[in-house]
Amino acid sequence: MSIIKSFSVGDGDMFYIKHGSDNFSVIDCCYESDDDLELQLDEIERQSKGKGISRFISTHPDNDHIKGLKKYNLRFGILNFYCVKNEATKTDETDDFKEYKKLRDDNKAFYLYKGCSRKWMNITDNERGSAGINCLWPVLENEDFKNALKKAKNGESPNNVSPIITYGTGDAQFMWLGDLETDFLEKVESEIAFSHTSVVFAPHHGRKSGRLPSSVLKKISPHIIIVGEASSSDLTYYNGYNTITQNSSGNITFDCDGEKIRIYVESDTYSVDFLDNEYCDNTLGCYIGTFYL
């Protein structure tokens, strides 16, 4: 059994995975108010209690993905920091960006790339099981990726240095693409081993600029697309696909046993018509239904 949570943090991203193995992972950091951040960190502390390995995965260093990172590190002391190797710069450096640079440039940082492996990210041994996390992108030799690194180094947007991360357990597969942009994905798609995905978190908070190309959607054939919290006028709604829109649902929690995914949201008025009803209680939020894999 594993729990995957997407926090509702406005125009930003923050997730955690409470793995069925002895692992706990956080992906990105953001918050809307100081009180919200404290509540989020409190929840992460509760949920990660008893886990032997905790890791923080940073998709890229834009403020809406690292806001609160300094407080997070002060609270938990990040020992396992994962990111794409880069030299991104900012004209105006926030405290959180400075914290990101410190973690990124530490010799203990683990750099993500296509096919990378590590105990216990995706390697099991006699001590503990794998977290089930894999990296589909970047390909370090790819010229478009190299150009994205140069732009980030020159202070331009670091969106396209984002990795593509998957988490798998049983028949369930979740996918994160950071803020990768549509035109970039179209250029590099042939080098990415896309496959069927249960739940995909739409890139760039669901913005039109990060719309998943139709050719990628055909390859991953997602059961559910999570559309983020960009302004409604800028969202892509992925007509023809099952979607949950976080603008309306609030926090989203997935309770996954590898054969089915029970889904809970923050809003007690939000509903969808593509889930089955197991009549679960509301322990993890407002239960809206179950998807059988």
pLDDT in tens, 74-112: 999 999 999 999 999 999 999 999 999 999 999 999 999
- In angstroms, the CA 177 to CA 255 distance is 21
Who contacts 26 (Cβ-Cβ below 8 Å, separation ≥6)? 14, 15, 16, 17, 44, 54, 55, 56, 57, 72
* Portion of the chain with pLDDT greater than 70, in percent: 100
**Which pTM value belongs to this model?**
0.98
**Average pLDDT rounded to a whole number, residues 254-275:** 97
Report the pLDDT averaged over residues 266-271. 98
Beta bridge partners of 184: none
Element (H, E) at 172: strand 172-176
**For residue 232, pLDDT beyond 90:** no
Average of per-residue pLDDT values in the chain: 97
Does residue 276 have a pLDDT over 90? yes
For residue 57, the model assigns a pLDDT of 98
| Alpha-carbon span 252 to 226, nearest angstrom | 9
- How confident is the model over 222-234, as a mean pLDDT? 92
Q: Comparing 176-185, 213-222, 230-239, 255-264, which segment has the lowest mean pLDDT?
A: 230-239
Neighbours of 58 (CB within 10 A): 25
Q: What are the structural domains of the chain?
A: 2-292 (3.60.15.10)
For residue 140, pLDDT over 90 is answered with yes
Please give the Cα distance from 273 to 244 (Å, whole number): 11
**Proportion of the chain above pLDDT 90, given as a percent:** 97
Instruction: Give residue 231's pLDDT.
Output: 84
Which of 16, 3, 125 minimizes the C-alpha distance to 76? 16
* Residue 197 pLDDT > 90: yes
**Is the distance from CB of 77 to CB of 47 less than 8 angstroms?**
no
Kindly give, in sequence order, each residue whose CB lies less than 8 Å from that of residue 57, ignoring residues fewer than 6 positions away.
25, 26, 27, 28, 82, 83, 112, 133, 165
Return phi, psi of residue 26, to 5°.
-115, 135
What pLDDT shows up at residue 268? 97
Which of 165, 212, 219, 177 is closest to 196 using CA atoms? 219
pLDDT at 290 over 90: yes
CA–chain centroid gap for 40, Å, is 15
Name the token pair of 254: 């997935």
Residue 233 confidence (pLDDT): 85
pLDDT digits (tens, 9 = 90+) for 36-82: 999 999 999 999 999 999 999 999 999 999 999 999 999 999 999 99
Lowest mean pLDDT among 33-37, 124-128, 229-233, 234-238: 229-233
